[in-house]
Amino acid sequence: MLKRLVTIAVLILLAGYAASFLASQDGKTVIQWLGYRVEVQTSLLVTVMAAIIFLVVMMDRLLSFLAGLPGRLSGRIRNRRQEEGQQALALGLVAAAVGDQHEAAKNARRARRLTGGNTLTGLLDAQVATLRGDTEAASRFFGQLTDNRATAWLGHAGTMRLRAEAGDDEAALEAGRAAFATRRNEPGLARALFALEARHGNWREAITALEEAKRHRQSGANSKEAMRETDIALAVLHYQLARSLMERGETTGKDEGIILSSLENALKHHPGLTPAALEAADIHMQRGKKRKAVSLLEKAFLDTPHPDLAARLMDCWGGEDAASLARLMRLSDRGGNRLEAISACATIALKLMLWGEARRLAELVSTAERDAVLWSVLAEVGRNAPEDAAADDWPDPRYCLEEAARAPRSAAWTCRQCGATTAEWGPHCPSCEAFAALDWRMAKNTLPVAPADDTATPLPNQPD
């Protein structure tokens, strides 16, 4: 504004200076035309001509302004409608996100009336139809989105969700793959497709989808815990791929290479995946690579001190049982799962009938921290006390069994999602069907069922 005022002031000064200059000049201009003679001062003539030119220019500007006025008015009205339409669209999408069906439908109608309809209003209509439970209308709207290249992936993704909710997994997979083919860098879509592929045992396709989700993870989704869960899921996928090849029966040399590669990929993502470590160790032992087998078993035991890993390690080490058990205990001291490791070692000692070592290991844990396995170990040690031993020097079996009934449950495969426990590992939780959610750890706030009498209770997870 100030710049324009300065410019006008300068122009006025220049015009005044020019008029003053012309008025001070002598001279006349004579015009003869059709017998008429007009004599006028040159300064006046120049001033009049300048005024006429100014008036002509102003008149032209005025006429141009008046001619363009209807267009500008209609443009402002159109822009205002678009702004109001976009506002209604945004409110409708927010309402759909929070599940407010009435508000979403009202804003969808308003947005369509103001904007004339576009891809975003089509998306909002699809969301409203989904909230209403009108799957036919929602499918139609999502289908319309697939006609536009820019929104095709949204249409396919919406169709995938609708079909999955309806239980039509084949159609959901088809739509999900179509969406993934056009939008591989969308982590939410990739994770949804991974879940579908894993549910149907399409391990290769699930690995591809989850790796893309990991590569294009959203900001804030790269926390240590989230990355760990993704790596565990990838490990389980690679292990399941290896299992699917092993279950064919006869395998070729190429298949064996793929199996071992898949197992090693699984352990690369999660060294403590017990079944993968056991399978890979067996293959290496069959090929005469004992050092390789021992190395991966040790890494697995440090991460997940499962009794099966402990037993397999002792088999691979060979030698005297007591020496192997001592070696296993030294390895346990390097890990961070002290209670689970001691429980595994005590179970091994009990199986080897090393009563004194089993007792020593169980008593390394305070009475308040002992789980049902350790109390059961002490009960079995007490039953096998030497006949000539003093009763006070050995654990009382009845007392230990009573404590085992009250003690926290021993380590088991525990679901991170629902907390359910199971004795056998699997890719899905048997309770909530969560994929790759089973960890070998102590279950929280769970107690074993008390035994009916004082007979020996079987030791959980004790090797056969």
Tell me the domain boundaries of the chain: 1-52, 79-145, 146-215
User: Is 31 in a helix, a strand, or coil?
Assistant: strand
Q: Which amino acid, one-letter code, is at 326? A: A
Query: pLDDT tens, position by position, for the chain (464 residues)?
Result: 678 778 877 777 777 777 666 666 667 777 777 778 777 777 777 777 778 887 888 888 888 888 887 877 787 777 777 777 767 766 665 666 556 667 767 777 777 777 766 666 666 677 677 666 667 777 777 777 787 777 788 788 888 888 888 888 888 999 999 999 988 888 888 999 999 999 888 999 999 999 998 888 754 455 788 888 999 999 999 999 999 888 876 566 677 788 999 999 999 999 999 999 999 999 999 989 999 999 999 999 988 888 899 889 988 988 888 888 888 888 887 766 678 888 888 888 888 888 888 888 888 888 888 888 889 999 998 888 876 666 567 888 899 999 888 888 778 899 988 888 898 999 999 999 899 999 988 765 444 333 334 433 343 343 33
Task: Give which of 293, 373, 319 is closest to 341, Cα–Cα.
Answer: 373
The region, left, alpha or beta by phi > 0 then psi within -120 to 50, assigned to residue 250 is: beta
Q: How far is CA 355 from CA 308, 312, 395, 420, 443, in A?
A: 20, 21, 11, 33, 27
| 31, 32, 39, 40, 48 from 36: Cα distances, Å | 8, 5, 10, 13, 19
Cα separation of the two ends of the chain:
92
For 217, residues 6+ apart whose C-beta sits below 8 A from its C-beta are 187, 226, 230
Largest CA distance in the chain: 159
List the one residue out of 229, 230, 235 whose CA is nearest residue 296: 235
Which tokens go with 292? Answer: 């390789």
Q: Is 117 strand, coil or helix?
A: coil
Going by C-beta distance under 8 Å and a sequence separation of 6 or more, which residues neighbour residue 223? none
pLDDT given for residue 450 in this prediction: 36
Q: What is the pLDDT of residue 95?
A: 63
Residue located via tokens 């299992």: 243
Cβ(160)–Cβ(192) below 8 Å: yes
Burial of 306 (0-12, 13-18, 19+ CB in 10 A): buried
| Residue-level pLDDT at 25 | 64
CA 305 from chain center: how many Å? 28
Q: How far apart are CA 408 and CA 333, in angstroms?
A: 23
Reading the block at residue 296, the tokens are 């991966």
Instruction: Identify the burial level of 36 via C-beta atoms within 10 angstroms of its C-beta, where 0-12 means exposed, 13-18 middle and 19 or more buried.
Output: exposed
Rounded CA-CA distance 384/394 in Å is: 9
The predicted pLDDT at position 262 comes to 93
Rounded Cα gap, residues 121 and 107, in angstroms: 10
Between CA 342 and CA 350, with CA 347 as vertex, the angle to 5 degrees is 125
Q: Which fold has domain 146-215?
A: 1.25.40
Closest CA relative to residue 242, chosen from 203, 285, 300, 284: 203
| pTM, 2 dp | 0.67
Could you tell me the two tokens for 242? 């290896």
Cβ 280 vs Cβ 263: under 8 Å:
yes
Q: Find the angle CA(344)-CA(396)-CA(449) to the nearest 5 degrees.
A: 60
Backbone φ, ψ for residue 248 (5° rounding): -70, -20
Q: How far apart are CA 361 and CA 373, in angstroms?
A: 12
Position 253 scores a pLDDT of 65
Integer Cα distance of 65 and 94 in angstroms: 42
CA distance linking residue 155 with residue 210, whole number of Å: 21
The Cα 101–Cα 80 span in angstroms is 26
**40 DSSP β-pair partners:** 29
Q: Which residue has the tokens 């102003």?
A: 58
Query: What angle, rounded to 10 degrees, do the helices at 101-115 and 42-98 form?
Result: 150
Q: Which among 147, 145, 185 is positioned nearest to 161, based on CA atoms?
A: 145
* Contact (Cβ atoms closer than 8 angstroms) between residue 405 and residue 451: yes
